[in-house]
Amino acid sequence: MRKTKFFVLVMALVILFTGCSSQTPTEQDNSISAGTEVSNHPDDMFLSSTIPAQSTFEIHFIDVGQGDAALVLCDGNAMLIDGGESSKSSKIYAYLQAHSIDFLDYIVATHAHSDHIGGLSGALNYASVGMALCPVTSYTSKAFNSFVKYLDAQGVSITVPTPGLSFSLGSASVQVLGPQKEYDDPNDTSIVMRIVYGNTSFLFTGDAERTAEADILEAGYDLSATVLKVGHHGSDTSTSYPFLREIMPEFAVIQVGTGNSYGHPAENTLSKLRDAGVKIYRNDLQGTIICTSDGEKVSFSTEKNASIQTNPTEITSVPSIETDIPDAGEYIGNKNSKKFHLPTCKNLPAEKNRVYLASRNEALQKGYDPCGNCNP
pLDDT digits 0-9 by tens, 301-358: 999 988 788 987 654 333 333 333 343 346 788 888 888 877 777 777 877 777 777 6
Mean pLDDT for the stretch of residues 92-98: 96
Mean pLDDT for the stretch of residues 123-130: 98
Q: What single letter denotes the amino acid at residue 251?
A: F
Q: Is 60 helix (H, G, I), strand (E, B) or coil?
A: strand
Model confidence pLDDT, tens digit, residues 203-246: 999 999 999 999 999 999 999 999 999 999 999 999 999 999 99
Q: What are φ and ψ of residue 122, in 5° steps?
A: -65, -40
pLDDT category at 161 given cuts 50, 70, 90 is: very high
* Segments making up each domain of the chain, as ranges: 38-302, 313-376
User: Over the chain, what is the mean pLDDT?
Assistant: 84
pLDDT value of position 19: 40
What is Dmax (Cα atoms) for the chain? 102
Cα–Cα nearest to 277, from 376, 177, 372:
372
pLDDT category at 21 given cuts 50, 70, 90 is: very low
The percentage of the chain sitting over the pLDDT mark of 90, rounded to a whole number, equals 67
Distances (CA, A) of 199 to 152, 276, 357: 38, 21, 44
Cα–Cα nearest to 236, from 214, 258, 215, 207:
207
pLDDT value of position 118: 97
CA-CA-CA-CA torsion sign (298, 234, 254, 182): positive
pLDDT value of position 48: 55
CA-CA-CA-CA torsion sign (168, 170, 173, 175): negative
Alpha helices in 23-141 (DSSP H): 89-98, 114-117, 120-126
The answer to whether 122 touches 95, Cβ cutoff 8 Å, is: no
User: Which of the following CATH numbers is that of domain 313-376: 3.40.50.10140, 3.40.10.10, 1.10.3720.10, 3.20.20.150?
Assistant: 3.40.10.10
Instruction: Report the C-alpha gap between 125 and 147 in whole angstroms.
Output: 10
Q: Is 83 helix (H, G, I), strand (E, B) or coil?
A: coil
Establish whether the linkage from the previous residue to 242 is cis, with ω within 30° of 0.
no
Query: In terms of C-beta density within 10 A (0-12 exposed, 13-18 middle, 19 or more buried), how is residue 328 classed?
Result: exposed
Cα–Cα nearest to 295, from 39, 31, 35:
39
Least confident of 47-56, 288-297, 317-326: 317-326
Alpha helices in the chain (DSSP H): 2-22, 89-98, 114-117, 120-126, 142-153, 210-219, 241-247, 267-275, 283-286, 360-365
Mean pLDDT for the stretch of residues 4-32: 36
Model confidence pLDDT, tens digit, residues 23-50: 333 333 322 232 334 443 333 333 555 7
The answer to whether 57 touches 171, Cβ cutoff 8 Å, is: yes
- CATH 3.20.20.370, domain 38-302, yes or no: no
The answer to whether 157 touches 151, Cβ cutoff 8 Å, is: yes
Mean pLDDT for the stretch of residues 269-298: 95
Judge if pTM exceeds 0.75.
Answer: no
The percentage of the chain sitting over the pLDDT mark of 70, rounded to a whole number, equals 82
pLDDT value of position 216: 97
Least confident of 145-159, 277-291, 319-333: 319-333
Residue that wins the pLDDT comparison between 336 and 78: 78
Distances (CA, A) of 123 to 20, 93, 108, 153, 253: 46, 5, 11, 13, 22
Q: Say whether pLDDT at 127 is over 70.
A: yes
Of 46-60, 158-172, 316-330, highest mean pLDDT: 158-172
pLDDT value of position 26: 32
The answer to whether 289 touches 298, Cβ cutoff 8 Å, is: no
Beta sheet of 369-370, edge-to-edge order: 354-357, 331-334, 339-341, 369-370
Model confidence pLDDT, tens digit, residues 183-192: 999 999 999 9
Q: Quote the DSSP letter at residue 259.
A: T
The answer to whether 332 touches 260, Cβ cutoff 8 Å, is: no
Q: Say whether pLDDT at 197 is over 70.
A: yes
